[in-house]
Amino acid sequence: MFKNKNILVTGGSGMIGRQLVSLLLSDDANVHVADLNKPVNMSNSINFHNIDLKDFSNCKEICNGMDYVFNLVGIKCSPQVCLERPADIMGPMLQFNTNMLEAAMLANVKWYLYTSTVGVYEPAEVLYEDDVWKTQPSRNDWYGGWAKRMGELQCQAYEKQFGKGKCSIVRPANVYGPYDNFDPENAMVIPSLINRGMSGERPLSVWGDGSPIRDFIYTDDVADGMLEVVKQGYNKPINLGSGKGVSIKEIATSIANKMPDKCEIIWDTSKPAGDVKRIMNTERAESIGIKPKISLDEGIETTIKWYNKFNNKDLNRYNAFTDKLYTK
């Protein structure tokens, strides 16, 4: 399907983007990557474009001649940073999708995939795709959640006006894996604990009491799901998760047990723990043959081994909150 096709992956140097690019290259696609992060350890076969997608002229230029666009660009950060820097999150995210959708429409691309997030949902034990617009995002994901919701609504508006059936919307759960954001100042729970644990923090401090339950999915499984959604021309919003709940305590314990030396955990209950439970319903994904292959324990083990092998040397990356690269 993708052989000799021109395909753009925005955010293609990121955690999910790298794996998606590899899959597309294996299908003999002509892959273009737009990212502010350098394509470290990526194939020389890609066409790399170091551009800022907040500039519409850049988006028009990069979309010209593309057959497919996978829009993975976004801003990933810890819950604390999300609450402290809402304008730095919401504004650019709205710009990214507004610019990319308009540019893709003008370029008459065959299909556009938009990467949304679990953050669009309200707190609930099980998250169903069709429930999103009956509720509001969690206060812990308020600004990013609304920005991603607006991105979804923009996709639906363009699809309705300019051609039904040309857009996919995927909602990944809590994604982790190699090339994640390991910056301890704004990383999510798994990369943050791996970074601090491997850096020798003892005991390892974790926010809250460890009771919140989340749905985690390995980066390779998300990339597989994205590709399958586009291959099948699926145009309903779809969850990409494991469908299984794991407590933060289980996550922290698993990571601590994989450290090279004894690693005790202390719980900082003075800090917010987040929503109680968030698990994705994955029936829609399973109905079209999408199911994760990598277990949580295997994924964490692989991520730690990767982190240890590269010793964080490949983690220099653009920081949306400081406009500079993060270096350990």
d(CA 204, CA 120): 30
What residues are labeled active site? 143
Residues of the chain with pLDDT under 50: 321, 325-328
Pairing of strands 278-280, 124-127: parallel
pTM of the model: 0.92
Pairing of strands 167-172, 111-115: parallel
Residue type, 49: H
Our measurement of the distance from residue 236's CA atom to the centroid of its chain's CA atoms, rounded to an integer in Å, reads 19
**Under 8 Å CB-to-CB from 167, ≥6 apart: which residues?**
111, 112, 113, 114, 155, 156, 158, 159, 235
- On the 0-12 / 13-18 / 19+ scale of CB atoms within 10 A, 7 is buried
Mind spelling out the 3-state secondary structure of 220-282? HHHHHHHHHHHHCCCCCCEEECCCCCEEHHHHHHHHHHCCCCCCCEEEECCCCCCCCEEEECC
d(CA 36, CA 49): 8
* 3-state percent breakdown (helix, strand, coil) of the chain, nearest 5: 40, 20, 40
pLDDT at site 165: 63
Q: How far apart are the first and last CA of the chain?
A: 41
pLDDT at site 326: 41
pLDDT at site 314: 55
Give me the helix-helix angle, 56-63 and 86-106, nearest 10°.
Answer: 40
Is 127 within 8 Å of 181 (Cβ atoms)?
no
Q: Which domains does the chain have, with CATH numbers?
A: 6-326 (3.40.50.720)
d(CA 10, CA 22): 14
Tokens 């305590």 identify what position? 249
Residue 31 host element (H or E): strand 30-34
Which residues on adjacent β-strands are paired with residue 279? 126
